[in-house]
């Protein structure tokens, strides 16, 4: 079994899912008392948010790249960034390490292509929905990305940061997300990407007329495949 290095804390709610599901996956696969060989660096999310508010993505990238190099030095044979949004900075991380960084968008794209899906609706932070890094990376795999309206994006972003990142789940927020998803389906999205690692906490069990793709679970499965 290979040792995986996790960069988490963005938020710790979703990082908790990574740790739990990696260990459960290893135990199910290997049996007995097997557990995952994990190294975890968990950042203070407040520090990251403060830099986001200053639009200091260079500073955030330097922090994450430093954690990645420390994980590699400690024996990590692969790096997993436990967040969608921060994959905006994946190139900065990859430049500083020599072990693989398992990119969440690439492993998502492989799942989408396996099901013949070429157009997806994406829910995530405003950074994920508005900036080019997610759309362009999917496009390299031949997949078109559509996003909610500007007002709906504000609703999604607010719920992620002010509720889901704090472990708050409400029925009203669930209803709002379901309505937004149905609008994306009306725009001919063939699938819906839960493009923030916390969104699964809110609508992970909801059923729609098109498949949903939980990026957290997909990323974790890719990590398990790598480790084994």
Catalytic machinery residues: 83, 196
Integer Cα distance of 166 and 190 in angstroms: 31
In the chain, the N- to C-terminal Cα span, in Å, equals 5
Integer Cα distance of 27 and 1 in angstroms: 12
Q: How far is CA 52 from CA 21, 49, 146, 155, 162, in A?
A: 29, 5, 24, 19, 15
What angle is formed at CA 196 by the lines to CA 50 and CA 203, rounded to 5 degrees?
130
Integer Cα distance of 34 and 72 in angstroms: 23
Q: Residue 131 contacts by C-beta under 8 Å, 6 or more apart in sequence?
A: 88
């Amino acid at each position: 079994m290979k040792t995986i290095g996790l960069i988490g804390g963005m938020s710790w709610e979703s990082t908790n899912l990574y740790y739990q599901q990696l260990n459960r996956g290893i135990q199910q696969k290997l049996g007995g008392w097997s557990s995952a060989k994990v190294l975890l660096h968990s950042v203070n999310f407040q520090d990251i948010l403060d830099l986001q508010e200053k639009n200091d993505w260079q500073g955030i990238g330097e922090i994450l790249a430093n954690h990645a190099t420390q994980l590699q030095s400690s024996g990590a044979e692969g790096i997993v960034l436990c967040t969608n949004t921060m994959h905006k900075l994946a190139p900065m991380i990859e430049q500083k390490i020599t072990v693989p960084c398992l990119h969440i968008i690439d492993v998502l794209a492989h799942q989408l292509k396996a099901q013949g899906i070429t157009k997806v609706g994406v829910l995530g932070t405003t950074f994920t929905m508005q900036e080019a890094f997610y759309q362009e990376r999917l496009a390299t795999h031949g997949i078109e990305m559509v996003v909610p309206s500007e007002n709906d994006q504000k609703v999604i972003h607010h719920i992620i940061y002010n509720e889901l990142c704090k472990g708050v789940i409400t029925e009203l927020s669930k209803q709002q997300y379901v309505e937004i998803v149905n609008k994306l389906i009306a725009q001919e999205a063939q699938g819906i990407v839960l493009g923030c690692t916390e969104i699964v906490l809110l609508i992970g069990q909801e059923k729609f007329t098109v498949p949903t793709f939980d990026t957290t679970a997909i990323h974790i499965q890719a990590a398990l495949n790598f480790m084994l």
